A = this chain, B = another copy of it.
Amino acid sequence: MKPVDTAMANAFVAGKVPLSPQTEQLISDRARLLGPAYRLMYEEPLHFVKGEGVWLIDANGRRYLDAYNNVTSLGHCHPAVVEAIARQAGILATNTRYLQDGILQLAETLLATMPEEPGHMMLTCTGSEANDLAWRIARGFSGGTGIVVTQTAYHGITDAVAQYSPSLGPSVDLGRHVALVPAPGDPGAEGPDGFAEAVEYAIAGLRRHGIRPAMLIVDTMFTSDGVRAGPTGFLAPAVEAIRRAGGLFVADEVQPGFARTGERFWGFQRHGVMPDIVTMGKPMGNGHPVAGIVVRPQVVDEFGRNARYFNTFGGNTVSCAAALAVLNVIARDGLQANSLAMGQRLMEGLRSLAGRYPILAELRGAGLMIGAEIRSGGQPDREATARIVNGMRAEGVLISSCGKHHNVLKIRPPLIIDAAQVDLFTETLGRVLEGVSA
């Protein structure tokens, strides 16, 4: 088995292709002002100045079909969200230590999307903070510290969360309390019970090191692991296993949530399980920094009484207005149904391409969250994947890659995409695959 490739997928590397003097200048200004920790995407980085629906527009006026950014899930600069932010920012921007109406309206609306009630909503600013809070609550509730995550998981960048985000690479130490399991379907977690067995094995390993399990946390679409959508149901026995061991099941819905999978509003619903904690972020404010958790009351009861939670910006009036506008637009415009329909159309297009180009070796996904595995001679082909991603960029379509071998195309258009735009995507990919396969 090839080792996991831990460099950042689709990162810009200086010197690979010639760049315009303007781009060189911006990159050197970034290095001078922002330092070495920031990364750009693509062989030739992009400089955007405008967003509009499914389009991002660069400094030269060129339009790119954005099939990558899952934050702006309603499309760039959605007028209802922009209006809600502008209006509320002009009325009141304050915190949760005063009574406010907006946060309660948001909570009612958000909690109503959950299949079970009651639950409590707590708000943060980022998905990292949401997963950090989930971890604090899980540790307090379970009395344990052990965490089970998948091999290429990404859950965030606070110190605690980076310790259980193996996709950050070997320079970021995993905690000794963190046990890795193969992604569902990978060797060691194959078949309908394979993932649950891998989780049980990881729990046993923690115990043998004297570590009590606190939680199993997974992105319910396993996005960073290369998108693992099915067979639905495989999560249920894994959830039972962590609960039997005294730990909680945390569903990281930062990527699958908010109707992206089309089939359901939340990714965990596809597996017929109810998490103890649901974490969410990215599309929650369509670009505005808002994130949070929904938690079973009994799980947060003791934590909440003893260890108050206050996040200065989390749950501020403007963030609540943005998040409420997002939920209202998804419902009003039937975006979950659109995600399902357009996701099916896109998958059909991809299947037909796969028939012509065997390099498109496996297609996985639900709704508008799709992973397309690139293999040559049966082996993961990272290089071809990079050529496809950069080729798409050259043709004006944005995607990226993921998976432990960086050989999975990560395709995530906004939920508002229409049939013509889906077809444009498929046609463009066909042209690029033709070039790569030639």
Contact = CB atoms under 8 A, between A and B. Distances in A.
B136 A311 contact: no
Contact of A308 (B38, B94, B127, B128): B38
A160 interface: yes
A296 to B, nearest CB: 10
Contacts of A288: 89, 93, 313, 318
A309 B38 contact: yes
A437 B239 CA distance: 61
A77 interface: yes
Contact of A82 (B86, B287, B303): B86
A172 to B, nearest CB: 5
28 contacts: A8-B308, A33-B108, A35-B297, A35-B301, A36-B120, A37-B300, A37-B304, A37-B307, A37-B309, A38-B304, A38-B310, A40-B98, A41-B97, A47-B98, A48-B92, A49-B91, A50-B91, A71-B94, A77-B91, A77-B92, A81-B89, A82-B86, A82-B90, A125-B313, A132-B159, A157-B311, A172-B307, A287-B318
Given A37-B304, A133-B157, A157-B309, 7 more contacts: A11-B308, A32-B118, A36-B300, A37-B122, A50-B92, A132-B159, A169-B307
Interface stretch (A23-31, A197-205, A257-265, A336-344): A23-31
A129 B162 CA distance: 12
Q: Which 7 A-B pairs have the closest CB atoms?
A: A35-B120, A36-B304, A93-B287, A171-B306, A37-B304, A86-B86, A159-B160
By secondary structure, the A interface counts as: mixed
Nearest to A71: B312
Interface stretch (A99-107, A177-185, A380-388, A420-428): A99-107
Contacts of A125: 125-126, 129, 289, 313
A182 to B, nearest CB: 24
Interface string A34-60: 111111110001111111000010000
B287 A34 contact: no
A417 B158 CA distance: 36
Interface residues of A, number: 101
Nearest to A33: B107
Contact of A312 (B96, B127, B313, B318): B127
